[in-house]
Amino acid sequence: MSDLITLHPEAQAQLFTDARTANTFTDEPVSDEQLRAIFELAKYPPTAANTQPLRVLFVRPGEARERLLTHMNDGNRAKTATAPVVAVLAADTDFHEFIPRVFPIRPQMRDGLAADAVARERMARFNATLQIGYWLLAVRAAGLAAGPMGGFDADGLDKEFFADSSWRSLLVVNIGKPGPDAWFPRLPRLDYDDIVRHA
């Protein structure tokens, strides 16, 4: 089947088949240029009406990292402390303010969404989550390992870092070069027939 995939086998391995969630990291730094390159690649995948609600807070070691650690679950705290960079991926519930710029064919969508906070938050969270999948692939494409984690106090983190904004945290991701014993054993994947139906 792999001959039906046009992506080079080495790229398939880097992005999918050999890629793993890293649990330890080396001391090798991640540069601002690498972080920008990740963004420049990850900004292209689709979102509804091109709304692009994903927002990213990069946290390097220091005082802000210490504040972040207080909101991580116990099992995630040590690896988050040692990652060269940690990204907090968030949904901007005020993404509609950019609609005249990013979806100029229907700028009036901004006003409709401004009047419906519930629909706006649902749209923000869904589309930002869609973007996150591509964003993790962009980290891998940059030759780095990503350690995505949902084990954190989202309300506490939002109060800590986003209290004066419309950002709402969805995922915390450690980023860097994998360190010693970075990988847990590969767990089983479901088969095609387990998850696919044809109508």
pLDDT string in tens for the chain (199-residue length)? 668 999 999 999 999 999 999 999 999 999 999 999 999 999 999 999 999 999 999 999 999 999 999 999 999 999 999 999 999 999 999 999 999 999 999 999 999 999 999 999 999 999 999 999 999 999 999 999 999 999 999 999 999 999 999 999 999 999 999 999 999 999 999 999 999 999 9
State whether CATH 3.40.109.10 applies to domain 21-178. Answer: yes
Closest CA to 80 of 64, 69, 89: 69
What's residue 3's pLDDT?
A: 83
Point out which residues pair with 152 in neighbouring strands.
Answer: 72
pTM of the model as a whole = 0.96
CA-to-CA separations, 32 to 25, 59, 60, 173, in angstroms, rounded: 18, 12, 11, 16
CA-to-CA separations, 198 to 1, 2, 128, 192, 195, in angstroms, rounded: 19, 21, 29, 11, 10
What's residue 1's pLDDT?
A: 60
φ/ψ region of 62 (left if φ > 0, alpha if ψ in -120 to 50, else beta) reads left
